[in-house]
Amino acid sequence: MIGQANAQVAHPDRLFIGGRWIPVEGSARFTVTNPATEEAFGEVVAAGAPEVERAVAAARKAFDEGPWPRMSAAERATYMRALSQALQRRGAALDSAWISQVGVPIWMAQGSGAGTAGLLDYYAGLAEAYPFEDVRPSNGMMSKVAVVVREPVGVVAAIAPWNGPLASLLIKLAPALATGCTVILKPAPETPLEAFMLAEAAEEAGFPEGVINLLPADREASDLLIRHPGVDKVAFTGSTEVGLHIAQVCAGRMARFTMELGGKSAAIVLDDFEPEAMGPALAPMITLLCGQVCINFSRVLVPRARKDAYVESLAAAMAATSIGDPLDANTMMGPLAMARHHAKVSSYFDKGVAEGARIATGGRRPPALNSGYYVEPTVFADATNDMAIAQEEIFGPVTAVIPYDSVEEAIAIANDSQFGLSGGVYTHDTDRAYGVARRIRTGHFTQNGRDFDLTNPFGGFKKSGVGREGGPEGIEPFTEVKTVFLPQAPSVLA
């Protein structure tokens, strides 16, 4: 069994910048707290303004003068595979870090570190085959050939959230490295350990100086990073509120950005999916990681004729979810990640009731768990789509059941949201499922579940984000397109 003891880093008192572990000028530290016990178990240094300047300068020099952007894709792929191997050797520690910082149950965390490292291998393979140069005919007056090239966008600030620290960093780092970008890793203050281990692995893999840099920072220093003229692109995962701020800053200086933001995903249950099957099928899609997953189903739309049966089935399945110690193999749902988030999620219980919804199950701290940021899986019945519990991202194990009278109405309800990240439909008819999927304004959709595969594109419509991560589409945002007109193809491409 894995535990907190493995969640250690080699240099908690230093930052990896320019290929070296350097001391910081200030005294600020980030305390790492276990949400299952509410106990602090470590701390790491926090970057300030001087470290922001040093990290950007190192990444800038590595991009402008260093070998990394000028290597072949195959040469970069060799480094990426070495980084993957170095991370896989830290697999148990990475798993433990996720449990200790976020409260992820062991069944979900075990093997995740080594598995997530596979994103580096995937993008290494894509880099070797990717058409960075495309020779096309030209109808210009002075040329016969146009070479359309994709070149690296430059210095990338990769900003990760606290709920999925390693995956959120790697899905930015891997395609950025594949294209020849240099990267500044900015983990969330609450979950810095994976980024430190990633920097250790980069050192072990022998990356050129400044290609990968570590910058754990608070809001003030992070704002300096996104405003810095030496940063060419910001890749961000997090809340819509912060994403809108970053987008405004980047737009003000024409910096590139991609964002994966919030969601309020609806599961549409069609009339051929029986109530007794619906609850067990849907509950895990709401309680995964204690609801702290942007694609979880936080709205459930059911046929009005049997709405009570659907509510009863879902409430029973949610109530049966085992809650407790993340290190217990029988635990299906651990705690929320932090005290302030526990307060936020809990505030919606009274808010939903005040708006006229009914709590069918949950709505409180589990009576047997007096410590830790625990909350019961919660189902609101008698909800309408204009309620705060149906419109605002709660980011907890909470869902609102909303009845509908026709599939047309269900589609309209699902689309009546500022978000457009994910969604699903529960039916045994794949043709009906695909028909519904094509009419829902989201970037991610699944029949009878909620699938997730970062070898395919992932991202959202509307306020759920800009751009896509994952798959071959994940490479494009880390490139700029250049067209070179020539009288004939260069010999290297002939």
Instruction: Pull the structure tokens for residue 427.
Output: 């039916």
H or E stretch at 156: strand 155-159
User: In terms of DSSP bridges, do strands 465-466 and 461-462 run parallel, antiparallel, or are they unpaired?
Assistant: unpaired
H or E stretch at 172: helix 165-179
- The 10 Å CB-count burial string (b at 16+, else e) for 145-156 is bbbebbebbbbb
How far are the Cα atoms of 6, 26, 88, 99, 434 from residue 335, in angstroms, in the given order? 20, 33, 27, 10, 35
H or E stretch at 54: helix 49-64
CA 217 – CA 49 distance, rounded (Å): 9
By C-alpha distance, which of 469, 331, 342, 457 is closest to 394? 342
Q: Given CA atoms 434, 438, 443, 449 in this order, what sign does their dihedral have?
A: negative
By C-alpha distance, which of 452, 411, 464 is closest to 433? 411
Active-site residue identified among 51, 194, 260, 355: 260
DSSP 3-state assignment of 52?
helix
Residue 265: partners with Cβ closer than 8 Å, 6 or more residues away: 295, 296, 297, 298, 299, 419, 421, 422, 423, 424, 442, 450
| Ramachandran region, residue 290 (left: φ > 0; alpha: ψ -120 to 50; beta: rest) | left
Q: Given CA atoms 258, 260, 264, 268 in this order, what sign does their dihedral have?
A: positive
By C-alpha distance, which of 324, 416, 419 is closest to 36? 324
Q: Please check whether residue 30 is in contact with residue 206, taking contact to mean a CB–CB distance below 8 angstroms.
A: no
Neighbours of 356 (CB within 10 A): 11
Does 25 participate in catalysis according to the annotation? no
Residue 220: partners with Cβ closer than 8 Å, 6 or more residues away: none
End-to-end CA distance of the chain: 57
Instruction: Pull the structure tokens for residue 143.
Output: 């040329």
Catalytic residue numbers read 260
